[in-house]
Amino acid sequence: MSGFSDGWRWGELAGLAALAVLLLVLWQIPGIGFVVYPFRLFGTFVHEISHGLAALATGGDFHRFTVSPDLSGLAWSAGGWRWIISSAGYIGSAVFGGVLVLLAARGAASRVLLMVLGIALGLLCLLFVRNLFGIVSGLALAAATFFAGYRLRPPWSDVVLLVLALQLVLDGFNSLFTLLRLSAASNVQTDALSMAQATGVPALIWTVVWAAISLATLLFTLYLAYRRRSAPAANAGAGRLS
């Protein structure tokens, strides 16, 4: 993002924290959550795609996935390492969001990133989505993301990418609280329950581990973004002293 291409200052980090709190609050307020619904829906697509990519990366096959209006989804794969595939959904959202932030902090243009995201999402929907809502909503999201990059100029394109990236990191963490309640209270089939069945480790433990990894991803991303701002400033000061 052009506005953050050198990293973040403390004031900008405080603004990011405020935005994170705002997103979390909006998610929980009935009648207002629709404001961030498209971003959360994007997160569901990333979640299911992450399962599929993990299957392919571990020698398996990715067949298809579906996405529902309630933000739930299902991915079908065969082969591969099941414990990695089951973990990839929640961790993948957090890691992907962190990668977007770091790419922007390294100077990648937010407009280009948004257009690339739109094209990639559209192609993946055509290749793997197999339900009507998933196809229609996925292609609509892909088109909106692409045209946001095509039409918007900084700082607006920066803001859209920042909200999208932050939502992905938070979605990987916030969704785990829901998963935590389900895993503790029932036998509803979840990624954590699949992991418990495959490893013998309780589903509750897996939710805690994934939440910790998601939080660590967020903190490490912020550290790298702030460090990039601090390093040039320190070098400039050393040059003046010499």
Task: Please report whether residue 129 resides in a domain.
Answer: yes
Does residue 172 form part of some domain?
no
Q: Which domain does 79 fall in, by range?
A: 2-65+73-167+216-229
The CA distance from 81 to 73, in Å, is 20
Q: How far apart are CA 206 and CA 190, in angstroms?
A: 11
φ, ψ (nearest 5 deg) of residue 79: 75, -165
Q: Round to whole Å and give the CA distance between 34 and 11.
A: 29
pLDDT at 19 over 90: no
* Domain assignment of residue 234, yes or no: no
> Measured between alpha carbons, how far is 203 from 199 in angstroms, rounded to an integer?
10
Three-state DSSP at 155 gives: coil
Residue-level pLDDT at 242: 37
Look at residues 48, 134, 111, 95 and name the one whose alpha carbon lies nearest to residue 221. Answer: 95
d(CA 62, CA 180): 27
Task: Specify the amino acid at residue 54.
Answer: A
Q: Which residue has the higher pLDDT, 83 or 55?
A: 55
Hey, what are 64's tokens? Answer: 């298809």
pLDDT band at 199 (very low <50, low <70, confident <90, very high): confident
- Domain total for the chain? 1
How wide is the angle at C-alpha 118 spanned by C-alphas 112 and 121, nearest 5°? 135
Task: Return the biggest CA–CA distance within the chain.
Answer: 66
Most confidently predicted of 87-91, 127-131, 162-166, 169-173: 127-131
The stretch 112-132 carries a mean pLDDT of 96
Tens-digit pLDDT profile for residues 151-192: 999 888 988 898 888 888 877 666 666 666 665 555 567 787
What is the residue-averaged pLDDT of the chain? 81
Q: Confirm whether 184 is domain-assigned.
A: no
Domain annotation covers residue 238: no
Report the predicted TM-score, pTM, of the whole model to 2 decimal places: 0.82
Q: Do 201 and 195 touch, CB atoms closer than 8 A?
A: yes
Q: Apex CA 112: angle with CA 225 and CA 142, to 5°?
A: 110
Give a yes or no: residue 211 inside a domain. no
Do the domain assignments include residue 200?
Answer: no
Which of 230, 227, 221 is CA-nearest to residue 20? 221
Tens digits of residue pLDDT in 211-234: 888 888 878 887 887 675 555 544
Structural domain includes residue 242: no
* Angle between the N-to-C axes of helices 82-105 and 156-185, in degrees from 0 to 180, rounded to the nearest 10: 160
Which pLDDT band holds residue 28 (cuts at 50, 70, 90)? low
